[in-house]
Amino acid sequence: MWNFLQLHEMSLRIIKAGVFDTVQDLGRFGFQHLGINPGGAMDRFAAQSANMLVGNSIYEPVIELHFPASILLFECETMFALGGADFSATINGDDIPLWQPIVAAKNSILQFQKWKQGARCYLAIREKLNIEKWLHSYSTNVKAGGGGFNGRTLQKDDVIAFTEKHDYKWLLKEEDVRILKWKADILWNITPTDRIAVTPGNEWDWLTDGAKNKFLKEAFVIGSLADRMGYRLQGELMPKQDGELISSVVSFGTIQLLPNGELIILMADHQTAGGYPRIAHVVSAHLPLLAQKQPGDKIYFRLTDQPRAEDLFVQQNQHLLQLQNACKFKLEEFLHEKQKVENFQNK
Amino acid sequence: MINFIGEMDHNLRYKIFFIGDSIATIDFGNVIDEEINRRSIALFNYLTQHPVEGMIEAIPAYSSVTIYYDVALLRKKIGQQKKVYEWLQSELQKLMRLDFTNSPFEARLVRIPVCYENEFGIDLQWMAEQKNISQEEIIQIHSSKRYRVYMIGFLPGFAYMGEVDDQIATPRKKQPRPVVPGSVGIAGKQTGVYPLYSPGGWQIIGRTPLKMFDKNKDELCLLRAGDYVEFFAITRDEFENYQGGSI
């Protein structure tokens, strides 16, 4: 009976809804031919890192938080990690860091007090969210009402069950929260002030030479229409040709030239097809950087080529693999420590 | 920019270009053409049955097929010295020498009921004035032709169909506005049905009671690229009482 009750308390509860918080993973692939976009976490570097920090597979679902973010209650002892934007996270009012695993006692409240930096914060949980896959993915597709938690943003009183239970009493003792000692190294080789690398799109030459120059020299400001679907940029460019383009595939990172001369960068919830000239594509490795930008932020572009873009992707991937191995090792050490404590107590 | 231009039988030319660092497109030209579209869909079907190594998914469009591929996995396979895009480009060139036009695909004819009354066909009156024909003529012309589904995209289950008769071809609206599911629209020479609530710029001439997209069904979308569609008019009462599927 007692165990049964405990099962019911293996969960997190939304005390107050955030502005747009959803369950995401690394995307839903294989259905774009039906018009269903991949979606997934905007900042996949942060989402993966958060999962790795708590020893999870990179494919586990995470919660993507925007500011003002949800207030969450852990209804059992929980190990979690936050990565991405800094919204001044607290557990029961005490500051906690990003990019580090944290253990919180039962009935702890995770709250985000104040916006500091970035646009999206990821919450990964070692106890694992009990979310059903829709079309092979945990990602929420709000438009289709599928995936994630009931196909929608998280609302007040939503309860997400966990699938695992772990004991941290030996660690917490009487404390509310413990910050574990391993960290993710977030500065792998880009900094927020770097130029965003792009490869030329198939319609790059629809820009005049003057427009190309302007695109690569001047700053663009992210406009107020900036969300998971795309970022409109402030600035003006004119296409060289007056041609019509038939609809074809666009992707996360595609920069389209709108008929009025504005630019839009398509983000994770992009449409699967579009009919506007694709002048450039943001390299995959720089999408996490872009995902943390918000309205008013300035960005600069620089042109790169296919081999370099591919190398950047591979480098970032290797960095993540190293992080994953390091975290696994640290978690094993941690569990070994638990064993020692328990052995000692048993003596 | 890395491009490859090749030639297939029947002098059909194609081009390979890349969309960023992990997506490649095989493109048959910036045209809407039934034969070229048939090729694109045949290539898509072939790739679905015989995926190129490392392929994550393939997506057909009007006159192209796009392939998402796994760079990390392919790098491991081909070694650190070579680049994946070069390897993939040569694989795709090999693929294009094959005859993939015989890959099995059965196009279906789907009949879609539409209530064209003004309550649903909110742009009919305006179109009739613009085109200087009656609303009845627009309905008659729209529902008397067989359309090809060229591609699915934009929204889940949204089918780009064509081509509508010149007499009713109308450019899309300058400003998109909210559109309800089932709305049947025209944009240029294309016609289509909105599967979900969405902002949309197509001229709305009617509404179907059919579900174009159902997230709970095994067959998520009513239409597939390569299918054919005929619209037929139903009354307001028939719309309300519509129980069946397509005919």
Residues A263, A269, A271, A272: what is their CA dihedral angle, to the nearest 10 degrees?
Answer: 120
Instruction: Indicate the residue among B74, B96, B118 that finishes a domain.
Output: B96
Mutate which of A248, A283, A322 to disrupt the B interface (most B C-beta within 10 Å)? A248
Q: Of the candidates B1, B61, B152, which has its C-beta nearest A34's C-beta?
A: B152
Are residues B116 and B88 both part of a single domain? no
Confidence bin at B246 (pLDDT 50/70/90): very low
Residues B29, B230, B57, B24: what is their CA dihedral angle, to the nearest 10 degrees?
Answer: 10
Q: What is the DSSP string of A271-286?
A: -SEE-S-EEEEE-GGG
* Chain B residues inside the 8 Å CB shell of A26: none
Instruction: Indicate the residue among B38, B62, B96 that finishes a domain.
Output: B96
Q: B27 and A248 in contact by Cβ < 8 A?
A: yes
Chain B stretch 164-193, residues whose beta carbon is closer than 8 A to a beta carbon of chain A: none
Distance from CA of A198 to the nearest CA of B (A): 8
| Contacting residues for A57 by C-beta, under 8 A, at least 6 apart | A51
Locate the DSSP E strands across B89-212.
109-115, 146-152, 159-162, 177-179, 183-187, 190-193, 198-200, 203-207
Element (H, E) at A232: strand A230-234
pLDDT digits (tens, 9 = 90+) for B145-157: 999 999 999 899 9
Residue % of chain B over a pLDDT of 90: 80
CATH of the domain at B16: 3.30.1360.40
Length of chain B equals 247
Are residues B129 and B216 both part of a single domain? yes
Which comes out higher in pLDDT, residue B49 or B1?
B49
Provide the domain count of chain B: 2
DSSP state of A68: S
Domain assignment present for B246:
no
Distance from CA of A223 to the nearest CA of B (A): 19
Mutate which of B17, B19, B21 to disrupt the A interface (most A C-beta within 10 Å)? B21
Asked whether the predicted pLDDT for residue B216 surpasses 70, the reply is yes
Confirm if A261 and A250 have CB atoms less than 8 A apart.
no
Q: What is the mean pLDDT of chain B?
A: 92
Dist CA A81 CA A88 (whole Å)? 14
Q: Say what the pLDDT of residue B99 is.
A: 85
Are residues B174 and B83 both part of a single domain? no
Q: Say what the pLDDT of residue B111 is.
A: 96
| Among the listed residues A64, A201, A200, the one whose alpha carbon sits nearest the alpha carbon of residue A122 | A64
Dist CA A329 CA A335 (whole Å)? 10
Dist CA A337 CA A271 (whole Å)? 49
Q: B215 and A146 in contact by Cβ < 8 A?
A: yes
Interface ipTM > 0.95: no
Dist CA A31 CA A43 (whole Å)? 21
Domain assignment present for B156:
yes
Instruction: Indicate the residue among B41, B75, B96 that finishes a domain.
Output: B96
pLDDT tens-digit profile, chain A (347 residues): 444 545 558 999 999 999 999 999 999 999 999 999 999 999 999 999 999 999 999 999 999 999 999 999 999 999 999 999 999 999 999 999 999 999 999 999 999 999 999 999 999 999 999 999 999 999 999 999 999 999 999 999 999 999 999 999 999 999 999 999 888 876 554 566 679 999 999 999 999 898 999 999 999 999 998 999 999 999 877 766 667 788 889 999 999 998 888 899 999 999 999 888 999 999 999 999 999 999 999 999 999 999 999 999 999 999 999 999 999 999 999 888 888 888 887 76
Chain A stretch 233-272, residues whose beta carbon is closer than 8 A to a beta carbon of chain B: 243, 245-251, 253-254, 271-272
Q: Say what the pLDDT of residue B7 is.
A: 65
Distance from CA of B241 to the nearest CA of A (A): 25
Q: The dihedral of CA B144, B150, B152, B154: what is its sign?
A: negative
Range of the domain at B36: 4-96
Average pLDDT over residues B7-14: 71
Are residues B136 and B231 both part of a single domain? yes
Are residues B215 and B159 both part of a single domain? yes
Q: Say what the pLDDT of residue B247 is.
A: 45
Q: B1 and A254 in contact by Cβ < 8 A?
A: no
Residues A258, B171, A38, A318: what is their CA dihedral angle, to the nearest 10 degrees?
Answer: -30
Are residues B184 and B233 both part of a single domain? yes
Confidence bin at B245 (pLDDT 50/70/90): low
Dist CA A151 CA A18 (whole Å)? 16
Dist CA B198 CA A96 (whole Å)? 40
CB of A201 within 8 Å of any CB in chain B?
A: yes
Average pLDDT over residues B35-51: 94
Q: Where are the domains of chain A?
A: 2-186+320-346, 196-304
* Chain A residues inside the 8 Å CB shell of B172: none
Asked whether the predicted pLDDT for residue B8 surpasses 80, the reply is no
List % helix, strand, coil for chain A (3-state, nearest 5).
Answer: 25, 30, 45
Q: Of the candidates B59, B156, B221, which has its C-beta nearest A249's C-beta?
A: B59
* Buried b / exposed e along B8-22 (16+ C-beta atoms within 10 A): beeeeebebbbbbbb
Q: Of the candidates A35, A250, A254, which has its C-beta nearest B152's C-beta?
A: A35
CATH of domain A196-304: 2.40.100.10
| Among the listed residues A137, A78, A133, A125, the one whose alpha carbon sits nearest the alpha carbon of residue A106 | A78
* A257, two tokens: 């030239």
The burial class, CB within 10 Å (0-12 / 13-18 / 19+), for A292 is: buried
Are residues B143 and B32 both part of a single domain? no
CB of A29 within 8 Å of any CB in chain B?
A: yes
Q: Say what the pLDDT of residue A54 is.
A: 96
Are residues B148 and B119 both part of a single domain? yes
| Among the listed residues B236, B246, B212, the one whose alpha carbon sits nearest the alpha carbon of residue B113 | B246
pLDDT digits (tens, 9 = 90+) for B159-205: 999 999 999 999 988 888 999 999 999 999 999 999 999 989 899 99
CATH of the domain at B188: 2.40.100.10
Locate the chain A residue with the closest alpha carbon to B67: A249
